[in-house]
Each structure stands twice: as C-alpha cells, then as structure tokens.
Amino acid sequence: MTPERLERINTMLDKRQPDLTVCMEGVHKHHNLAAVVRTCDAIGVSDVHAVWKSEEMEVRGGSAAGSQNWIDVHNYHNTADAIAALKAQGMQVLVTNLSDTAVDFKEIDYTKPTAIILGQEKFGASKEALALADQDIIIPMVGMVQSLNVSVACSVVLYEAQRQRQLAGMYDKPSLSEERRQRVLFEGGHPIFAEACQRKGLPYPAIDENGQIVADEAWWQKMQMNKDAWQHIDD
C-alpha cells in the first residue's frame, strides 16, 4: 500500500460515523441501493441496512460492489428484524412518512445515534415500519409531487445530519473501532491478500502504521499454499 493510499483511507476512516445509518425497506432495484450507498459513503456513514423483497435479490457478501466497497451492507428478509437490530444499537429510528405526527426532518437531533428508514418510492414505508419507528419525518415540498426519489430523499436528510454533526465536532475525532479500522485497511490496502484470506479461511493479519502487513512466517507460508496443504501442516 502506498503512503498516499494509506493516508486517504485513514482520513476516510477518521470521519466515519458508525452510529448514523440508513435502512432501505423492500428493496427491489439494486441501482437504488447503489445510489443510497454512494451518498452514505460521501457523508461518512459506515453501514447501510437493506430489507429485500426476496432472498434471491439481496446483495451477497455483505457489501455492494465497485466504489461502494467501503460500506458494509447488512441484509434482512423482514422489517422487524432490521429495526430490532438498529434499536439494539441504541439508535432512534426515523421513517420518512407523510402523517399527522410527522415532523420536519430538520427538527430532529441527528447527533444522537440515528437510523433512517426509507420506504419504497411507490408504496412508501410499510405499516410494520411505521408502527415500530420512533418518529415520522417529512421533507417539506411545495410542488405537485408528494415524494422524492428515494436516493434524493436519503441525500437531503443525511446532509442535514452531517451539518449537525459537524457543528457538534463529531467529525473531528475518530469513532470507528480499531478492529474495524484494521479490517478496512487490510481489505482496502491489500485487496489481493484479503481475497486470498477469504478463499483460504485465513485470519486477517494486523496492519502497521505504515500500512504494511504484520504477520509471522507461518501466515506467509500458508498464503503461498492451497488450503489442503497448510491444513496438513497444522495437523
């Protein structure tokens, strides 16, 4: 890993906001998820949650492809499981929905751990999501349409969250765990070795302050063998 790439990855990781996230409900178009994940990366969101309409459609491997490899995508088959996971992390769960109890999205305190549920463009959030969420939010509109494209709505709300968090100094100090930082540094800085570890079942090594792999001779030896060969060594 070059010093320039190491600096870029570390700078990105220093700004990550692990307690700010988005949950897309009833995903049926991968390009919509890709657009949301792209915005999340720009904001500093580290995780995106997706409730898929069918198991066959979900994103495999825990992350979207291409430029979105820096975001972890967590897949669910039902809304209740997704919201339970978010609340277990102590997050306030917001849902975009036009209702009598909805408040302007700018009135929310996004410096708190926050998850934003985005419903389908055609049908909106499900009854289950509306029942389980803590608060409905709306994006005020004065035109003829009553809703925005899901990725646009995501951007509008997240940039308000970013504004509040920047004012509160939440982007000024790293909040990502060291374990996760190490994983991202290895996968992003040494992708060929990371793919080999995943294929062979090898644990990830540590990454030092210069971005270099720290591993013993046994690890390097196994890296050069196929899995069957080094399993015989362990035996």
Give the model confidence (pLDDT) of 128-149 as tens digits.
888 999 999 988 888 877 777 7
Binding-site residue ranges for S-adenosyl-L-methionine: 96, 139, 148
pTM, entire model: 0.85
Check residues 232 and 6 and name the one with the higher pLDDT. Answer: 6
Binding-site residue ranges: 96, 139, 148
User: What letter would DSSP give residue 103?
Assistant: E
- Domains of the chain plus CATH, in order, are 17-167 (3.40.1280.10), 178-234 (no CATH)
How much is the CA Rg of the chain, to the nearest whole Å? 20
- Whole-angstrom Cα distance, residue 234 to residue 216? 15
Give the model confidence (pLDDT) of 101-131 as tens digits.
889 999 999 999 999 998 776 667 788 888 9
Closest Cα partner for 45 from 75, 21, 62?
Answer: 21
Through-space distance between the first and last CA atoms of the chain, rounded to whole angstroms: 34
- At 14 the pLDDT is 96
The stretch 75-82 carries a mean pLDDT of 91
